[in-house]
Amino acid sequence: MRKLFLFFLLIPYLLTAQFNEYNPEYDWYTLKGEHVFVHYHPEAERTARTVLKIAEEVWGPITSLYDYEPETVHFVIKDIDDYSNGATYFFDNKIEIWASALDFDLRGSHNWLRNVISHEFTHMVQIQAAMKIGRRVPAVYLQFMNYEDKRRPDILYGFPNFIASYPIATVNVPAWFAEGTAQYMRKEFNYDNWDTHRDMILRCYALDGKMLTWNQMGVFGKTSLGNESVYNAGFALTRYIAQKYGEDKLVEINDRLKALTNFTIDAAIEQTLGISGKQLYSEWSEFLKKDYKERINNVLENRVEGELITPVGFGNFYPSFSDDGSKMVYVSNKYSDYFGVSSIYLYDFKTKKEKLLVPMVRSTAVFIPGSNKIIYAKLSDDNPRWNNIHDLYLYDLDEEESTRLTHGLRANNPNVSHDGSKIVFLFQKDGTTNIGTVDINGKNFKQLTFFNNGEQVYNPKFSPDDSYIVFGYSLKNTREIARVDTNGTGYDIIIQNGYDNRDPVFDSNGNLIFASDMTGIFNLYRYDFETQKTTRISNVVGGAFQPDIDGEGNVIYAGYTSDGFKIFLLDKESQSKVDDDKKYVWIGNPPLGNDKPKGDLARFNIERLKNYNDYELPDVKPSRYSGYFSRFSIIPFIRYDNYITSNSFADRIKPGIYAASSDYLNRFSIFGGGAINKKFERDLFLSFEYRDKLPLLFNLGLKPEVGIELYSVSRKTNTDIIFDSLDTSLRTSTDVTYNLFEADFFARQKIITAGNMLEFRYVYSSYTATLEAFIFPNTSLLYPSTNDTYYIGNDFQLKFSHDGIIPTKDADINPVGRKIELKYDYEFNRYNPDGTYEVADGILKPVYKNYNFQRIELNWKEYMRVYMEHTLTAQIRAGSILGPDVPEFFDFYLGGLIGMKSYPFYAVSGNEVAWINLTYRFPLFKDIDTRLGHLYVDKIYMSVYADFGNAWNGNSVKLNDFKKGAGLELRIKMNSFYLFPTSLFLNAAYSFDRFTRTILNENVTYGKEWNFYGGILFDFNF
């Protein structure tokens, strides 16, 4: 019963999972502006002051477009990890910005802070303007809970076998529209624009017939390439609407989304434009296909791209020749769904075979000349603050071992001098990157450039004589190729032509090979220093990047296609076949070339915003961060709770509310909720978490998250009181209320690396039965209400958990990887198992027995890929209560929704437990791409499984007593209202062994029967 009481209170945690990282080792300050507060740590002060300036400047034009102003917006600035992103919490009025500038292979060059601040603030304004009832109420939940048959006489009701919690959203903005309008921001800013990278992605999709469908554009949950395509297609369609129908139509569509009766953008589009969403998509996509086909025609007549040599994976980058040109190293994601899950591979041009060298690397990798070793950079949290930052490593191909060269340098994109003595790299601080060098052993760091205002440098390379470094340089919307001498002097721009020029490398003649978008498509060029002549050496449909060249003049490069980035080999002879007149027709203001602005910008100084000067920053005095909390989010719900079938319909309806708030730095958070029905049965919980410094522990290098959880639950039933079993007149009945109170105090700490967590928890529990007053039969004597606290529990628990699930787009429905949980409990309890009482001071008091014991339990899940999306999962559970047997109240329970599903939850229990489950899961349908109203159906998986397990008392284990079962499960992955992941699972299991248990002198039989389960939640935790 103890587990059952707490089980359904865990549901809210599934609904409100959030990113709650906080780094207590940093001091935090606040800059206050007219409209925004900027919170930062001193290591990110330049970025914070720039954010304050930009946010105040763009506030007026962006809010004017949507005729909506939010309350004070809180920006949180971090320069802690080597990570670049922005995140808008539109229900909380919070925006998080990571100072490191975005260098993403699918995006062009733009000023990071101007772009990301305008982008995220547009999210805040546009999405809040589309909310149906304001930002305080994200959704209303409809919940349903059904339970197993009671069967046993010692329980009030069975364990849940069906759980549903479904949101009715108060915001329903599709991904393409949210991201499209955020990138559009105010077009006149030109902080983000339709650059050659965006054009490349959409062009390749359109020409090869691989554009995202109308439904696919509405949601994320794809690969890195697929998710970026949502951004890309959304930006393109937003521009199309603005240019063909008018910028004001974007605002009108957004306004119509907040109508209570509109739950899809299709309705809003039809009400605004007079055509359906699908008609709009068809009109736009057909235009694109025709337009791109015409503009690419010259390229197709003179296509020069070389030989494809790495067809697997959509993220193949940074190819680099060995000394003799017979091999190359490169980085690839191969069969992974994300760029971040990439590794270094060695490719042999002669045998055409390749070998995995180093896993989980996303940086450049280059050979040390004259050796069989490579240098690369890798993210690691092995540093005093456990920050996830880059450092340099050496890999020995002969020894097959890696050696770490630097510690805490934040060094990335390394290259090696021709004499093999130096490593050049870029490093970052406070949103600015610079060039540095170290010796080949990682010692003697030297800074070569001293930028400090958000400038970005990229992919440095040594000159042929190792006297200077060439690298990419960017501050605004272009990228130049620059140089600096190895002694830190002689900084100069080599190539500056208003285009995006990148990835320079020298050939054997001292010419510069680089990539540029001069024709509107990234191609490879040769620059002759003596003649200052630039010659194009490729003519591709997609794009050509990151070249390297061998001694004979053959070039390898990362080429973009509609299937992502591949490595191509362009031989020396082919490079001369480019006809420079055969080039792509670039359009400066696609898709239609003519804008139809809303006309509200006359009162703003747009020229000042376009020609910004972020070297001049506001002189605002900072104050110590004093703690700012978000407004409470309120989530009402109505639960149909079918735990006692004899209850009336009205008794089963249980309305309630969840409420949550957190400090803007995530130092503290509070989450609570409650529900009550007509019988005043309550479900209450409150959770408070603290993530700031704990003085003694912090001095020891520990940063635990601590908190308290409180639960209060009641259930009512009616019971018969029999004074004489032979005389029916000596019977009466009364109500009994069961009350559970529990207080949990916990501290959890990440150990060794991300994914490993150690948690200490103290649990205090009190279970009380309240017998309501009744009149003795055949008398007028009133027996008063009494309370019987029959259990007082204390539990000290230590739990280690490991989450090693590999990131994939199907990780929720069909995970691959490993999960481990190992728990140790020391319990000292007072329990009245026999209902024995004594009279003390004229009052009946329970006679407790002390049950002090230790408990250990292991849960191990191994998710193994068998073939493509087919997986085999092996799950092991083993537990033991150490020492003498204890009453069944403390048992392990094996069956039910959260265990061996072939038997009900309470069917199999004991002081010892062992269970193994084998599950084979495979896709029935993938990429279903079907929308049913506000519901998007994506994929369906099926699994079959077998169970073998038992729970028992005593030391003797008999395999013949173990229970066997088998079952199957259907999983359907969906999205509701574009924003909310929705997971439907249906499970049927059959038990092969029949057995009978005697409980309170009553025989209860289980086995040789079907058990059914199901749920509608956010994920597939069961």
Query: Exposure pattern of 224-250 as b/e (b: 16+ CB <10 Å)?
Result: bbebbbbbbbbbbbbbbbbbbbbbbbb
User: How many angstroms separate the CA atoms of 226 and 238, rounded?
Assistant: 18
pLDDT band at 956 (very low <50, low <70, confident <90, very high): confident
Question: What type of residue sits at position 230?
Answer: V
Strands 653-662 and 633-641: antiparallel
Give the pLDDT mean for 922-934.
95
Pull the structure tokens for residue 9.
Answer: 């209170």
Give pLDDT, residue 721: 73
Neighbours of 200 (CB within 10 A): 24
Give pLDDT, residue 843: 66
User: How many angstroms separate the CA atoms of 448 and 543, rounded?
Assistant: 31
450: which residues sit within 8 A by CB, 6+ positions away?
434
Look at the block and give the residue holding tokens 């707490």.
6
For the chain, give the mean pLDDT. Answer: 94
Neighbours of 183 (CB within 10 A): 24
Contact 431, 112 (CB under 8 A): yes
Identify the H or E element spanning 795: strand 786-803
How far does the chain reach from its first CA to its final CA, in angstroms? 19
Give the pLDDT mean for 99-113.
94
Which of 475, 416, 473, 474 is closest to 483 using CA atoms? 473
Contact 514, 171 (CB under 8 A): no
What are the CA-CA distances from residue 878 to residues 566, 800, 915, 965 (Å)? 47, 15, 6, 18
In the DSSP assignment, the letter for residue 633 is: E
Examine the pLDDT at 706 and tell me if it is beyond 70.
Answer: yes
Give the pLDDT mean for 794-817.
96
Contact 15, 658 (CB under 8 A): yes
For 107-145, the DSSP string reads: S----HHHHHHHHHHHHHHHHHHT-SS-TT--EEEEEEE
User: How many angstroms separate the CA atoms of 361 and 342, rounded?
Assistant: 6
3-state SS assignment for residue 244: helix
User: How many angstroms separate the CA atoms of 259 and 857, rounded?
Assistant: 51
Give pLDDT, residue 1: 39
Q: How many CA atoms lie within 13 A of 319 on its CB side?
A: 33
User: How many angstroms separate the CA atoms of 865 and 817, rounded?
Assistant: 9
Give pLDDT, residue 840: 72
Lowest mean pLDDT among 134-143, 673-682, 729-738, 1004-1013: 729-738
Examine the pLDDT at 156 and tell me if it is beyond 90.
Answer: no
| Phi then psi dihedrals of residue 3, to 5 deg | -65, -40
Lowest mean pLDDT among 37-46, 522-531, 698-707, 794-803: 698-707
Give pLDDT, residue 785: 80
Give pLDDT, residue 3: 42
For residue 142, what are the β-bridge partners? 166, 638
Lowest mean pLDDT among 506-520, 768-782, 786-800, 900-914: 768-782
Lowest mean pLDDT among 152-166, 411-425, 980-994: 152-166
Sheet order of strands, 623-624 included: 86-89, 94-98, 73-78, 36-40, 29-32, 623-624
Per-residue pLDDT tens digits for 725-748 = 677 777 778 888 999 999 999 999
pTM, two decimals, is: 0.95
Contact 338, 807 (CB under 8 A): yes
Helices (H), 449-594: none
Contact 694, 677 (CB under 8 A): no
Which of 38, 59, 37, 56 is closest to 48 using CA atoms? 38
Residue 957 CB-density burial (10 A; 0-12 exposed, 13-18 middle, 19+ buried): exposed
Radius of gyration of the chain measured on its C-alpha atoms: 33
Question: What type of residue sits at position 122?
Answer: T
Give the distance, in angstroms, between the CA of residue 298 and the centroid of all CA atoms in the same chain: 43
Examine the pLDDT at 708 and tell me if it is beyond 50.
Answer: yes
Question: What type of residue sits at position 768?
Answer: T
User: How many angstroms separate the CA atoms of 609 and 622, rounded?
Assistant: 25
Give the distance, in angstroms, between the CA of residue 253 and the centroid of all CA atoms in the same chain: 29
Give pLDDT, residue 83: 92
Per-residue pLDDT tens digits for 210-255 = 999 999 999 999 999 999 999 999 999 999 999 999 999 999 999 9
User: How many angstroms separate the CA atoms of 162 and 663, rounded?
Assistant: 35
Structural domains in the chain, sorted by start? 29-134+170-297+590-623 (1.10.390.10), 303-576 (2.120.10.30)
Give the pLDDT mean for 264-282.
97
Contact 454, 50 (CB under 8 A): yes
25: which residues sit within 8 A by CB, 6+ positions away?
385, 693, 698, 703
Question: Percent of the chain, pLDDT > 70?
Answer: 97
816: which residues sit within 8 A by CB, 6+ positions away?
805, 806, 808, 863, 864, 865, 871
Give the pLDDT mean for 458-464.
97
Contact 737, 716 (CB under 8 A): yes
Give pLDDT, residue 779: 82
pLDDT band at 752 (very low <50, low <70, confident <90, very high): confident
pLDDT band at 844 (very low <50, low <70, confident <90, very high): low
Give pLDDT, residue 8: 46
Neighbours of 774 (CB within 10 A): 17
User: How many angstroms separate the CA atoms of 120 and 142, rounded?
Assistant: 31
